[in-house]
A and B are shown apart, each in its own frame.
Chain A
Amino acid sequence: MTVLSRRGFFLTCGGCALAASAGPLLPGRAFAGSTPRAYPARFWKKLEGKRIECGLCPKHCKVEDRERGFCGVRENRDGEYMTLVWGQPCAVHVDPIEKKPLFHFRPGSQAFSIATAGCNLECKCCQNWDISQSKPEDVDFQFMPPEEVVRGAKEYDACVTFTYSEPIVYLEYAIDTAKAAREAGVRATMVTGGSGEAEPMKEVLKYLDAVKVDLKGFTEDYYQRMCKGKLEPVLKTLEVIRKSGVWLELVHLCVPGQNDSESEIRTMCRWVKEHLGRDVPLHFTRFHPEYQMKNVPPTPNATLIRCREIGLSEGLRFVYTGNVPGLAGEDTTCPSCGKVVVARRGFELEGLHIKNGRCAFCGFTIPGVWS
C-alpha cells in the first residue's frame, strides 16, 4: 500500500466528484472502459425464465437476462443477479465530517469517504452526476475490498462514510465494509437519498453509527418530476432509521422555485417533528447549478435563512443553513441556555463546548454522537 502524507492526501481531495483521485492509496486501479468484476448480489428474487426482480429499492426493477436495473450497477447474468461495484469504488477521499454534513456526529473528525458508480434516482440537480449517473465501466475505479477501506480509515483516524453517489445501490459492499469497520472499532456512516426497501436498510443499519438522508422535497410531484423517484418510500426509510436508534440528520437542498415554497417547507418541518422528533437536525443547503439545472441560479441566502426560520418556528431545535460559509445558521446552539456549543464556519470547526454530551455552559444534554 502506497501511503501519502496526510497533507498530500488532502491535496488530492479538492472535490468530491474527482473519481479515484486518491489512486496512489492502492494498486489495482482500472480506467474507464475496464470491465468491472461481478459478485453475487443480495436482496432479489427469481421470476419466470431468467428474469429477476430486485428488492433493494422501491423501484423493484424487473430485469431481463443480460440487462441491468435502473441503477445501472446490478446485472442479470443468466438468471443470477450480480453487483458490479462490490469493492470497486470510483471515488475515495478524506473529508471533514461537516461536509456530509453531519453536525452532531463527532465534530471536527474526518470521514474516509467512498463511492461507487450508480444511483437509483436521477435528480436533475445532482451535484455528483458524473459518477452517480454513470455505469461502473464509465468511470475510473480501483479495487478496494472492505478491509482496505477500514485500514484507510484507521490510518486517517476517520470514520468510514458511504457517500457522493447512492450507497443503497452498492449496499452489499456497504454492509460488508460497515461490518468490518465495526469489528475493527471504526465507525461507519452513510449519506443517502433514503430510497430503499426496509429490510436491506435494516441490514446495513446494524453496522452504522450515523446516517444523513437527503430529503429532496416534500411532494410526490417533486420526486417524480425532478428525481425519477417517490417521496413515500423515503419517509418510510426515515422512520426505519429513527426507530433503529442510529443517529440521523436531514438535508434539504433548496432548489429555487422547485422545492422551497413556504408551504412545502412548513409541511416538511411539521412531518419531521411529528414522525422523527424535534431533535433531528435539519440542514437547508444551497443549490449550485449542475447537471440538468445549469440554467437555474444558486439558492439566494435569504431563502436559506427563511427556511431555517420556518423550521425553528415549527419547533425543530437544530436547524442549519449550509453550503454558504459564514452565513448565519451554521452553529449549534444550546436549546436551554442559548449559547453556541459548536461553532463552525463552512467545514471548519471553530469551537466545541460540549462535555460528555452536555452543554459546557448549562449542562443541558445535546443530542448527538459527541465522543
Chain B
Amino acid sequence: MVAPKTEAARTIVAPGKPRVVVVRTRKALVQGYDADRGALRSMLEAGLAALSGEKDASKAIARYVRPGERVGLKINGLAGRQAATHVELVDELSALLAKAGIEPRRQIAFDRFKRDFTASGFAAQARRDSYQCIGNDEAGHEEEVAQMPSSASRLSRVLTRQVDGVIDLPILKQHMLSGMTGALKNNFGCINNPNKMHLDKCDPYVAEVNAIPEIRDKQRLVVMDALRPVVENGPSYQPGAGEVANLLLFATDLVAVDTVGLGILEDLRKKRDLPSLDKAGLFPTYLLTASKLGLGVSSRAGIEVIELEV
C-alpha cells in the first residue's frame, strides 16, 4: 500500500493487513428510510474504537483528523433519500468530529450537485450550527486538468481548496455499469466528468481517479453505509431493490473496505437467488486494478476483518 503523503494520514498507516471493521445492529433502521440516531451513535463509537484501538470515541476519531482541520464528508446523495448515505449517520459523525475539535463550520459534506443534498434529506443541515453542504456545481472545479493514464479530469474545488482531509461516506450498492459502488467509486464525486468514466465497468477509471494525488492523499477514513444496501438494479433506487442489513463498515483502506463490501453484497444477492456479480458479468474488476496501483488490498485473505454487534 502506498503511504499517504499528508502528515495526519501517515499516522494511520499500520503495518500488516489492513483492517476492516464490520459493525452490525438489530435496531438501526426503525421506520422507512429513517435510521435510529442512538443506534448509529453506538455503532460509530464501537466501529471507530475497533478500527483505531482506542477505547474512547473522541480519541478514536482524533486518530484520523486533527483539531482545527477542515474535514470533507464525501457522501453519495445521487439516488435520493431511499438510497443515499443516511443523513442521520452524517449528523452523528459530525457530532463526534465536533467533540474531537473539528467545529461544524469546518466540516463540509460535499457531492456533485447541490440538489442531491435536498433530495437525500440534508436540507435541514443548512442551519448555522451544522456542517455545510456544498455541491460541486456551486463550488466549481479547478481549471487545471488532472492527468491520468486513461483519462483526465478537473477536480472539485471543495476537495482542493476547502478541506484538508476527507472522510469517505459511501453507500453500498450494486451498480449496473460498474458492478458495485462503494468507497472507491464514491470519489467519482470529486471530479467533473464521471460520465466519461463508466465505460468498461469503470475499469481502470475508478482506480486511476483514486490514484490522483490530490484525492489519494486526503483520504483519512471510510465509514460505509450498509444499513440498507441496494442489491439489484442499482445504483438508482427501484422499489424492492434495497435489503436491510443494518451494517456499518470502517476502514482506512478503500480497496479493502470495498472488497469486504462486495462480499456482503454477494451474500445479500444470494439470499434473493440473484446471480453473483461475476456470473452476471459485473464483477468490479476495478478493485483489482486499484490494488495493482498500490491503493489497497483486494484479496479477502489479505484483510483483517473484525465483526462486531452492538
Q: Tell me whether A65 is interfacial, beta carbon within 8 Å.
A: yes
CB <8 Å contact, B235 and A64? yes
A138: which of B141, B198, B238 is its contact (CB, 8 Å)? B141
Cα-based distance from A110 to B186 in the complex (angstroms): 47
Q: Do residues A138 and B192 form an inter-chain contact, with CB atoms below 8 A?
A: yes
A66 contact set on B, CB distance < 8 A: 78-80, 116, 119, 236
Q: How far is the CA of A72 from the CA of B191 in the complex (A)?
A: 13
Judging by beta carbons under 8 Å apart, are B236 and A64 in contact?
A: yes
B3 at the interface (CB under 8 A from A): no
Q: Does A69 contact B (CB under 8 A)?
A: yes
What are the residues of chain A within 8 A of B78 when measuring CB–CB? Answer: 66-67
List of A residues within 8 angstroms of B196 by Cβ: 70, 72, 122, 133, 228
B104: interface (CB < 8 Å): no
Q: Contact size class for A?
A: 20 to 34
Compute how far the CA of A104 lies from the CA of B176 in the bound complex, rounded to whole angstroms.
Answer: 47
Contacts of B116 in A (CB 8 A): 66
B42 an interface residue at 8 Å Cβ cutoff? no
> DSSP majority for the B interface?
loop
* B29 close to A (CB within 8 Å): no
Binary contact readout A215-229 vs B (1 if CB under 8 angstroms, 0 otherwise):
000000000000010
B151 sits at the interface (CB 8 A): yes
A29: shortest Cβ distance to chain B, in Å? 17
Instruction: List residues of chain B with CB within 8 A of the CB of A138.
Output: 140-141, 192
User: What residues of A have a CB within 8 angstroms of the CB of B235 in the complex?
Assistant: 64
Contact of A50 among B141, B198, B236 (CB under 8 A): B236
A15 to B79, CA, bound (A): 40
What CA separation (Å) do A347 and B151 show in the bound complex? 32
Shortest C-beta distance, A221 to chain B (Å), equals 14
Interface size of B as a range: 20 to 34
Q: Give bound CA distance, A135 to B154, whole Å.
A: 12
Chain A's nearest CB lies how many Å from the CB of B305?
31
Using known A-B contacts A68-B195, A133-B193, determine if residue A291 contacts B233 with beta carbons closer than 8 Å.
Answer: no
Closest-CB distance, A329 to chain B (whole angstroms):
32
Q: Quick check: A70 and B145 within 8 Å, CB to CB?
A: no
Q: Known: A33-B138, A51-B236, A62-B176. Contact between A70 and B198, CB under 8 A?
A: yes
Q: Mark B233-262, 1 if CB is under 8 A from A, else 0.
A: 101101000000000000000000000000
Query: Using a CB–CB distance below 8 Å, which chain A residues touch chain B?
Result: 32-33, 48-51, 62, 64-72, 122, 124, 129, 133-135, 137-138, 228, 291-292
24 contacts between A and B (CB under 8 A): A33-B138, A33-B140, A49-B236, A49-B238, A50-B236, A64-B79, A64-B176, A64-B235, A65-B236, A66-B78, A66-B80, A66-B119, A67-B78, A72-B193, A122-B196, A129-B145, A133-B193, A134-B192, A135-B195, A137-B137, A138-B141, A228-B199, A292-B145, A292-B152
